[in-house]
């Protein structure tokens, strides 16, 4: 019988919910320049990375998040050759982006180099494409990076951040989106993790409103399961400078299906289907 000490428990205070995983040994713990990072072996979810007490990812279920944050946008954009990832220090998003042959260059701008160094050590499968010649890993401030990007120099910006408090707060506001619009080419798209449709619908509505106010013609909400995040039901917001949202490129979807565990044509369509309570909330703006 497990004792209290054998569990990792995260309380999501604003949501009033908690999530836990039964633990094996603690593998690593450190305070980086930016945050506290812990790595555990869990009993049933493989390895677990925790930042400032919040679950970042586990071996067992990160495929859901990483596939659904990347492949929908990369299959919908007409020609996503130049990609920027903000955050994403575990490199799982980078790995999925690099599965697309059409991508010619992808830059990842993670503020905390230690997250990536620890991922290389403890989550090597997520980092298996880090040496791809198309990839550039920078350890810098993502907001400043976008401000310094040339006009129309990017096709897709992927914002793979922590929750919109603390370091990531500046990634969820109009000033940042304005710089994204400027740095994106006319066909450009942005995709951003936007928390739980059940718990954070006000945030999602606000993000969609801000994106449209800054010049994105179209936004869409993607739904997918993510068991280790609050409610187990997560979302990403897709925004396109040019509307209407194009149909997915079938050949690219098919190319991803065989080796994906979650993403395919059916789950992509399902992710874009809006439950009534979400559609009604987003229709207000």
Q: Which residues bind a second copy (CB under 8 A)?
A: 2, 7, 9, 11, 13, 15-22, 42-45, 60-61, 197-198, 223, 225-227, 231-233, 257-258, 260-264, 266-267, 269-277
Q: Which residue has the tokens 């094996």?
A: 24
Q: Which residue has the tokens 């989550």?
A: 123
Catalytic residue (choose from 38, 61, 160, 163): 160
Query: 189 with 238: CB under 8 angstroms?
Result: yes
Please state, in angstroms and rounded to a whole number, the distance separating the CA atoms of residues 64 and 103. Answer: 21
Q: Known catalytic residue: 160?
A: yes
Nearer to a second copy, 55 or 115 (CB): 55
Which residues share a beta bridge with 54? 51
Backbone region of residue 210 per phi and psi (left: phi > 0; alpha: psi in -120 to 50; beta: other values): alpha
How far apart are CB 279 and a second copy at their closest, in Å? 8
How far apart are CB 107 and a second copy at their closest, in Å? 29
Nearer to a second copy, 15 or 138 (CB): 15
**Structure tokens given for 115:** 């997250």
Nearer to a second copy, 136 or 277 (CB): 277
Please state, in angstroms and rounded to a whole number, the distance separating the CA atoms of residues 7 and 119. Answer: 22
How far apart are CB 41 and a second copy at their closest, in Å? 11
Query: 207 with 172: CB under 8 angstroms?
Result: yes
Nearer to a second copy, 2 or 150 (CB): 2
Nearer to a second copy, 232 or 246 (CB): 232
Q: How far is CA 2 from CA 5, 21, 48, in A?
A: 8, 11, 18
Query: How is the chain split among helix, strand and coil, in percent rounded to 5?
Result: 35, 30, 35
How far apart are CB 224 and a second copy at their closest, in Å? 9
Nearer to a second copy, 53 or 270 (CB): 270
How far apart are CB 219 and a second copy at their closest, in Å? 17
Q: Where are the alpha helices (DSSP H) in the chain?
A: 62-76, 92-98, 113-122, 142-148, 174-183, 201-213, 250-257, 265-272, 276-282
Please state, in angstroms and rounded to a whole number, the distance separating the CA atoms of residues 260 and 268. Answer: 12
Please state, in angstroms and rounded to a whole number, the distance separating the CA atoms of residues 96 and 70. Answer: 7
How far apart are CB 89 and a second copy at their closest, in Å? 24
Estimate to the nearest angstrom the gap between the alpha carbon of 136 and the chain centroid.
Answer: 18
Q: Which residues are catalytic?
A: 160
């Amino acid at each position: 019988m497990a004792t209290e000490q054998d569990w990792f428990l995260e309380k999501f205070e604003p949501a009033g919910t908690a999530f836990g995983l039964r633990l094996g040994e603690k593998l690593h713990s450190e305070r980086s320049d930016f945050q506290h990072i812990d790595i555990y072996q869990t009993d049933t979810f493989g390895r677990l990375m925790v930042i400032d007490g919040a679950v970042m990812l586990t071996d067992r279920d990160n495929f859901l998040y990483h596939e659904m944050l990347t492949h929908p946008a990369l299959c919908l954009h007409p020609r996503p050759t130049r990609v920027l990832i903000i955050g994403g220090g575990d490199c799982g998003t980078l790995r999925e982006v690099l599965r697309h042959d059409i991508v010619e260059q992808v830059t990842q701008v993670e503020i905390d180099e230690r997250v990536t160094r620890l991922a290389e050590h403890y989550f090597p499968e997520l980092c298996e494409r880090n040496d791809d010649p198309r990839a550039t890993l920078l350890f810098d401030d993502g907001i400043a990076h976008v401000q310094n990007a040339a006009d129309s120099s990017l096709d897709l910006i992927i914002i793979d951040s922590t929750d919109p408090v603390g370091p990531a707060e500046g990634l969820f506001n109009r000033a940042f989106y304005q710089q994204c619009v400027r740095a994106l080419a006319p066909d450009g798209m942005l995709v951003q993790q936007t928390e739980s449709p059940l718990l954070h619908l006000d945030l999602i509505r606000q993000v969609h409103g801000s994106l449209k106010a800054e010049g994105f013609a179209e936004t869409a909400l993607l739904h997918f399961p993510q068991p280790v995040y609050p409610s187990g039901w997560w979302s990403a917001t897709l925004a396109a400078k040019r509307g209407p949202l194009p149909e997915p490129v079938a050949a690219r979807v098919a190319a991803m299906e065989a080796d994906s565990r979650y993403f395919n044509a059916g789950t992509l369509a399902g992710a874009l289907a809006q439950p009534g309570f979400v559609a009604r909330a987003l229709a207000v703006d």
